[in-house]
Structure 1
Amino acid sequence: MKTNSEWMSISDMMSGLMLMFLFIAIGFMIEVESEKQVMKDVAISYRDAKANLNEALFTEFENDLQDWDATITKDNSIVFSSPEVLFEVSKSEIKDEFKAVLQQFFSRYINILISKEYIDEIQELRVEGHTSDTWQSTTSKKEIYLNNMQLSQNRAYSVLSYCYSLEDDTIKQNRPWLEKHFRANGMAFSKLQNKENARRVEFTIQMKSENKVYEILK
């Protein structure tokens, strides 16, 4: 049989273990709450930056959208969706009408993105080319996909090249920034929504806080 002193020693040991586990549990709870707060702060930062940028884009371009046949989405994409203005059918050379639009648009757009409110939030600026899901008279799905992918990439590159080469003071001064952030993506018909706006050009923005949200979700 254990003596009273032995039982007291065991009791003290159990009390010590319980206290240790209590401290571990409290520490874990504090860590979880801290992580939750970080997640909340990142989400709020992303939401606010996205909403503020959307407001800035609308303030700057609202009066031009109808003339350009353009829209600003809730995700801050600017969509130019007038095929007869953008390019000739199956061609990637920018038409003069769209060049005129880009001259009015791009430097004002960049002025917003490089302002102190947003420059540290911008991860990437993309120009996307989008096409229809047909190709002349062919019925080969492979040929339709590959030709449209090549066409959309060429169109996106043409727009990027034209915008980057504009002899505008804002553009010339910020070419180093564009070189780090400006990209051209051919999307073909991967984001086909409807036949009417299949052939379009989109300027999209990826924000740094958006990446942080994705990392948290992982």
Structure 2
Amino acid sequence: MSNKKDNFWIPYADLMTVLMVVFLFISIAYMGLVQFQKKEQDKIFKDYRETKENLYKDLNEEFKNDFKKWDLELDKDLSIKFTNPQVLFKSGASEITPKFQQILTSFFPKYLTIVLQDKYKDKIAEIRIEGHTDNIAIHETNDPYIDNVKLSQDRSRNVLQFLRKLPYYRNLSSEKEEILQFWITANGLSYGRTLDSNKKLVYITKGKIDIEKSRRVEFKIVTTSEILVDEVLKQMKQ
């Protein structure tokens, strides 16, 4: 009777040992996977910071003598804002003023000098030309927001159309033109992102809309690492 019990417990003990070893290997593998994911996430965040810092530095250096002259502002989010509405378009109109045409003719080649560098070829996901309006109704309609969507879209589209007709653009290589067609989009944001007197988003500050500062055109760079960072943050919240 004793031998039968011993014969039972010995295999059972061996089985428990095997299971413990299996669980140990699983734990080690899991910890290795977690460490690998952590390294990958750290790499993504590092690339995100470095890309934005380098682009900001290059843009700031390129346009340091033009900010006041052209009423430009460069933000840390890599958006360049044309902030003088009187220079850009006539009130309620989408046609680019002669003055703004002159500015864009000089601005765009300098801008492309930065973004078309080889070091940014795989770092940029999109360049958005954004049109922003104030919250004043253009026509007597039931939805002034939609009216301003159309106006802001027309303005951003006209900016893009003008840039594509520039001799500088037409002389670009087919490869660079293909890259720009992939990157550049024209967006009309109506008065969804109006600014207050401190040039902060009213949606966030809940302050009073500054009509003059809200009417603007922006060139905004979205980096590839920025998209990856968003994905990582989503995964971390799950």
Is residue 2:233 matched to residue 1:217?
Answer: yes
Structure 2 CA distance, aligned partners of 1:22 and 1:106?
Answer: 60
Residue 171 of structure 1 deviates from its aligned partner by: 5.7
Q: Tell me, which stretches of 5 or more residues in structure 2 are unaligned?
A: 197-209
Q: Cα 1:20–1:117, aligned 2, differ >3 Å: closer, same or farther?
A: same
Structure 1 CA distance, aligned partners of 2:21 and 2:87?
Answer: 74
Residue 169 of structure 1 deviates from its aligned partner by: 6.0
Which of 170, 181, 184 lines up with 1:182 in the alignment? Answer: 184
Residue 177 of structure 1 deviates from its aligned partner by: 2.0
SS at structure 1 position matched to 2:167: coil
Residue 170 of structure 1 deviates from its aligned partner by: 7.6
Alignment-derived partner of residue 144 in structure 2 = 144
Structure 2 matches for 1:40-51, cutoff 5 A? Answer: 40-51=42-53
Which of 129, 137, 148 lines up with 1:135 in the alignment? Answer: 137
Which of 84, 87, 97 lines up with 2:86 in the alignment? Answer: 84
Matching residue's letter, 2:152 = S
Matching residue's letter, 1:152 = S
Q: Cα 1:41–1:170, aligned 2, differ >3 Å: closer, same or farther?
A: farther
Conserved? CA contact 1:164–1:178, under 8 Å? no
Matching residue's letter, 2:133 = T
Structure 2 CA distance, aligned partners of 1:165 and 1:191?
Answer: 29
- Number of aligned residue pairs: give it: 216
Work out the percentage of aligned pairs sharing the same amino acid.
Answer: 37
Which of 100, 108, 111 lines up with 1:106 in the alignment? Answer: 108
Residue 135 of structure 1 deviates from its aligned partner by: 1.5
Alignment-derived partner of residue 95 in structure 2 = 93
Matching residue's letter, 1:208 = T
Which stretch of the first structure deviates more once superposed, 174-183 or 109-118? 174-183
Alignment-derived partner of residue 197 in structure 1 = 213
Residue 146 of structure 1 deviates from its aligned partner by: 1.4
Which of 24, 40, 45 lines up with 1:38 in the alignment? Answer: 40
Conserved? CA contact 1:54–1:76, under 8 Å? yes
Conserved? CA contact 2:157–2:186, under 8 Å? yes
Q: Cα 1:47–1:170, aligned 2, differ >3 Å: closer, same or farther?
A: farther
Is residue 2:19 matched to residue 1:12?
Answer: no
Structure 1 CA distance, aligned partners of 2:139 and 2:54?
Answer: 46
Matching residue's letter, 1:68 = W
Residue 143 of structure 1 deviates from its aligned partner by: 2.7
Matching residue's letter, 1:197 = K
Matching residue's letter, 1:53 = L
Q: Tell me, which stretches of 5 or more residues in structure 1 are unaligned?
A: none
Conserved? CA contact 2:44–2:225, under 8 Å? yes
Alignment-derived partner of residue 162 in structure 1 = 162
Residue 137 of structure 1 deviates from its aligned partner by: 7.4
Which stretch of the first structure deviates more once superposed, 100-109 or 129-138? 129-138
SS at structure 2 position matched to 1:74: coil
Q: Cα 1:186–1:56, aligned 2, differ >3 Å: closer, same or farther?
A: same
Residue 175 of structure 1 deviates from its aligned partner by: 2.3
Superimposed CA distance per residue, residues 182-205 of structure 1 (whole angstroms, 9 cap, x where no aligned partner)? 110000011111213111000011
Q: TM-score, normalised by structure 1?
A: 0.94
Conserved? CA contact 1:122–1:205, under 8 Å? yes
Matching residue's letter, 1:34 = F
